[in-house]
Amino acid sequence: MVPDFEIYELGDFPLLSGKVLKDAKLAYQTYGTMSAARDNVIVLPTFYTGTNSRNEGFFGPGRAIDPSRHFIVSPNLFGNGRSSSPSNTPAPQDGPRFPLVQMWDNIAAQHRLIHDQLGIDKIALVAGWSMAGCQSYQWAAQYPDMVQAILPFCASAKTSPHNFVFLEGVKAALCADQNWNGGNYDSPPEAGLSAFGRVYAGWAFSQTFYRKGLYRQLGFQSIEELMQDWEQDHVQGWDANNLLAKLATWQAGDISAGSLYNEDFELALGAIKARAILMPCTQDLYFPPEDNEIEAHHIPRAIFRPYNSPWGHCVANPGNDKGFTAQLDANIRELLEE
């Protein structure tokens, strides 16, 4: 049986904060075969509650990204339970003592895997949903000569103040659990995880989604059934410290962080050489299209192409909106064929 992922040993990995992640590990998986010219490489980072396995819904036979034609590398975010995370890192960096890992750090680690380990000099496309899309911006700004195209969907190059506040809300719901104990819990803080999932459900879809009862298309007979499903998904599927480690990465998201651009956001956007199609959902409640429209003005080769859907942020979840999937594939083909 082929394992779900492989591990790339990074050793003691220096972070942008100045701290060091001890004995760091980057989980990843590859699909397809690299061409002799090494010009068919596509990088698909993972989203907030995603893994490389869940990214498999974004490609396949006959799709714009097809393992029969492309070499796909899917690296896992630090904190997602596969790469180094609070749940699998030994003391003294276990649990709530896990250091802040920023987007810069994730991409620096991915660069070591892709360039140093796999011997790849050019990436045809970096694409992804949500935090994966944020990483596509980071790739293009951090290694502008390496990335030829990006397609972030339902994402942004810098976490907006409103997005930051939304994340504070779900964080507060989780940490209010009396079993949270500052992250030093003896058993999972299930009440907090349930609250986290219930609050998140209100942001993941749009107002129109709930008004029109589109949750019935997902098999739920009521809003309460949907929220209970989100509760259980977070209780059964996620370690609380892992969720908060990735949340901290998300909140700190800014492609201009670090000495390369010294927090000059417009400079960082202007340094992106990659062709770009920015694909927000017009009804996304925490990655609104206005942010991408601003970004597109400063990225030299960017096209702003929003998609309207009541599915909100979850429009990109494979199977939710067939029209979005078709448009996503069309945009990918456009970038790869140029």
Catalytic residue list: 130, 284, 313
Buried b / exposed e along 175-210 (16+ C-beta atoms within 10 A):
bebeebeebebeebbbbbbbbbbbbbbbbbbbeebb
Q: CA angle 86-136-146, nearest 5°?
A: 115
Q: CA angle 244-184-8, nearest 5°?
A: 55
Taking the C-alpha atoms of residue 211 and residue 316, their distance in angstroms, rounded to an integer, is 20
The closest of 152, 155, 325 to 253, measured between CA atoms, is 155
Helix H or strand E segment including 105: helix 103-111
Buried b / exposed e along 3-41 (16+ C-beta atoms within 10 A):
eebeebebeebebbeeeebeebbbbbbbbbebeeeeebb
Helix H or strand E segment including 251: helix 240-251
**Tokens 């810069």 label which residue?**
104
Under DSSP, the state recorded for 287 is S
Taking the C-alpha atoms of residue 205 and residue 112, their distance in angstroms, rounded to an integer, is 36
Taking the C-alpha atoms of residue 204 and residue 200, their distance in angstroms, rounded to an integer, is 6
Q: Judge whether 78 and 101 are in contact, CB under 8 Å.
A: yes
Q: Judge whether 296 and 272 are in contact, CB under 8 Å.
A: no
